[in-house]
Every structure is written in structure tokens, then in C-alpha cells.
Amino acid sequence: MSLPTSLAAPAAESVRDFATDVRRDLALVPKQIQSKYLYDGLGSTLFEAICRLPWYRITRAEARLLSTFAPQIVSAFSEPLTLVELGCGSGEKLAMLAEVLRARRRHVAVHLIDISPVALELSERTLGRLQHVSVVGHRATYEEGLRHAAAQRVGDSAMLVLFLGSNLGNFDPPAAHDFLSRIRGSLRAGDALLLGADLVKPESDLLLAYDDPLGVTAAFNKNLLVRMNSELLADFDLELFDHRAVWNARESRVEMHLVSRADQVVSIPRAETSVRFAPGEPIWTESSYKYTPEDVIQRGRLAGFLSLDQWVDSRARFALTLFSAD
């Protein structure tokens, strides 16, 4: 019996990359781990649970906007259309656009890009239910996946790239600019980018979204330690780290940390390192930058896009912006 991809052991090369990054980033001051490593099989499953929490409003706000404006969004394109989602997660939002195309009897090619095998399996299942859709999954980073999808574009079809869920907020501003510019560079006239971005809102709302009363986000964050224990043979004691979310108003970002409760040394054999933690010392595991609607438009323009339209969910403070590559 073969296991589903999401339950199989990670490939040796991805463990090697993880080990190299952990060794380098835990030697930084402050210590860090890249947020993409939050999404192993369990991490993706916990993220799906986070999306259902009443305090994490991003997913529902974006879905509300899509359910209202998807017809308008797809109308901006002539056929045929290729949809590419970077960091697709469950693929449910992409399916909302694809459904509109079904109603209009238009066939659509879909490329799903995600580093997480669980996310890819989920999204392939979600999109696989739609008969007018042909799906290609790429287990890859955003950049690699976009390169593959662009190389497989059929004829003169227009490409709509989706970067939803405020994934952009995980990049610091210079990296976000580079990344948007790279997306722009792989598109041509007639293509577009649909960007979902979370907006600045009261600090209490932001903190509840990243430190929920059920402790699901804490489990999502601490799962990084579980992942290092299992893939890198580390000996992190989960009881000796706390989840912490803080709003950094100056930088306009929520930061997630794992904070050491004690003076301790952790051994990480596959990363060929041992790391000392002082009491109260954090590992910075994720940034989630928050924007204003104008900020989002400006960032797209600076990366070479033309802004076509923007829709704002005023309840949850979330913006969906359509940019053209013309």
C-alpha cells in the first residue's frame, strides 16, 4: 500500500535544505526560522483549523469578497484563461473563481503551487471535483512553481496569478517588492495578479487572530519544534517554549515568536549544531505585515503593475486588489 504524499517521510533533499536553513537562521540575532517551515503536514492541517476560528477573519473576509466580485474579476479576461495560485492552501478560494467560469461554460487550466503536500492534496481534491478544470499541482516554492506554470502556459491564454490569504505579509517590505517584481517579470500583456492583503485594524483584533483562546495558533507555531525534533532529530522540550504574538506598530506587522522559558541548550544533530537559549529569548517564526488599501496599490505599482480595481471588506478590514500586467 502506498501512503498519500502528505503522510510519506519528507524527501532527503528537503530535509537537507531545512537543516541548512535552521543552522544558519538560529545563529542570527535574533534567532529566526523561516515561516515557510510552519507548513509541514501537521502545520497545514492546523492552518486549516485556524481558518475556521472566529478570531482569524482573513479567510472568511476574502471568501466574502470573492463570492461577490468573482464574476467581475473573471469578466476582465477573454478566453482562454490559466489560473495560477501561489501558496494555494485548500484551493477553496480558487474554486470560487473556477465555479464562475463553469457557469459561463469556459474551460480553465489551473496550476496549484504549494510547498506543503497536505495543501496540494487538499487543493487538488477541491479543484478535481470541477469537470471543466484541468489541474496541475506543483510541490514547489512560489518562485519555482511560477516558473514551471509559466513554462507550461498553453498558446495565447491569459494568466491570472492569485496570491491570496495575505501571504504577501510574510515578506518584509524589500522582499515583498522583489517578489512582486518577480511575478510581474514572469507575466505578459493581458495577464493579471489578484492580491489579497490584510489591513491594519485594532491591536486587540490582530492579537486574537494570532494568539487565539483555543491555543490552535500556539500549536501551529510550536509544531515547528515538533518538526525539528522529527526531521532534524532535535531535542526541543515543548514545555520549555511559549508561543507569543506581538503587534509591532512601528513596522506595521504582527510577529510570532517561540520564547524560551529557561536557560537551555538544544541539540539539532541533522543541522550539526547545538543552540543555547537564554530565559526569555525568542525565536522569530513569522511576520504578518498589515497594510492600508493605498499601500497595497502603491506596492503593486512600484513593482510594475497597473491597478485595475480594489474591493475592501470593511467588516474585517481586508482588501482584494486586481492588478494588470499591461
Ligand X SMILES: C[S@@+](CC[C@H](N)C(=O)[O-])C[C@H]1O[C@@H](n2cnc3c(N)ncnc32)[C@H](O)[C@@H]1O
Nearer to ligand X by C-beta: 19 or 88?
88
The DSSP result for 179-210, as a single string, is: HHHHHHHT--TT-EEEEEEEBP--HHHHHHHH
Nearer to ligand X by C-beta: 142 or 277?
142
* CB 90 to ligand X: min, Å: 6
Nearer to ligand X by C-beta: 114 or 255?
114
* CB 142 to ligand X: min, Å: 4
- Position of minimal CB gap to ligand X: 165
- What residues numbered 65-124 form the site for ligand X, per CB under 6 A? 87-89, 93, 113-116, 119
Asked if residue 59 binds ligand X (CB under 6 A), the reply is yes
Residue 82 and residue 59: Cα distance in Å, rounded? 23
Residue with cell 476574502: 62
Tell me the number of residues near ligand X by CB under 6 A. Answer: 19
* β-pairing verdict for 81-86 and 108-114: parallel
238 Cβ neighbours under 8 A, 6+ residues apart: 222, 225, 226
* CB 77 to ligand X: min, Å: 20
**Is the distance from CB of 300 to CB of 48 less than 8 angstroms?**
no
Please identify, among the stretches 1-9, 14-22, 39-47, 202-210, the one whose residues bind ligand X according to the rule CB under 6 A.
Answer: 39-47
Nearer to ligand X by C-beta: 90 or 260?
90
* CB 127 to ligand X: min, Å: 13
* CB 186 to ligand X: min, Å: 15
* CB 47 to ligand X: min, Å: 6
Q: Where are the beta strands (DSSP E) in 59-122?
A: 81-86, 108-114
**Is the distance from CB of 241 to CB of 274 less than 8 angstroms?**
no
Asked if residue 289 binds ligand X (CB under 6 A), the reply is no
Edge-to-edge, what's the strand order for the sheet holding 81-86? 133-139, 108-114, 81-86, 158-163, 192-198, 318-324, 306-313
- For 92, 97, 110, 213, 255, the CA distances from 128, given in Å and listed in that order, are 11, 14, 10, 35, 36
What x/- string results for residues 165 through 204 when contact with ligand X is judged by CB under 6 A? x-x-------------------------------------
β-partners of residue 134 are: 109
Nearer to ligand X by C-beta: 146 or 275?
146
* CB 113 to ligand X: min, Å: 6
Residue 176 and residue 17: Cα distance in Å, rounded? 22
By C-alpha distance, which of 144, 109, 115 is closest to 130?
109
* CB 116 to ligand X: min, Å: 4
- What residues numbered 133-172 form the site for ligand X, per CB under 6 A? 141-142, 164-165, 167
Question: Which positions touch ligand X (CB under 6 A)?
Answer: 36, 39, 44, 47, 59, 87-89, 93, 113-116, 119, 141-142, 164-165, 167
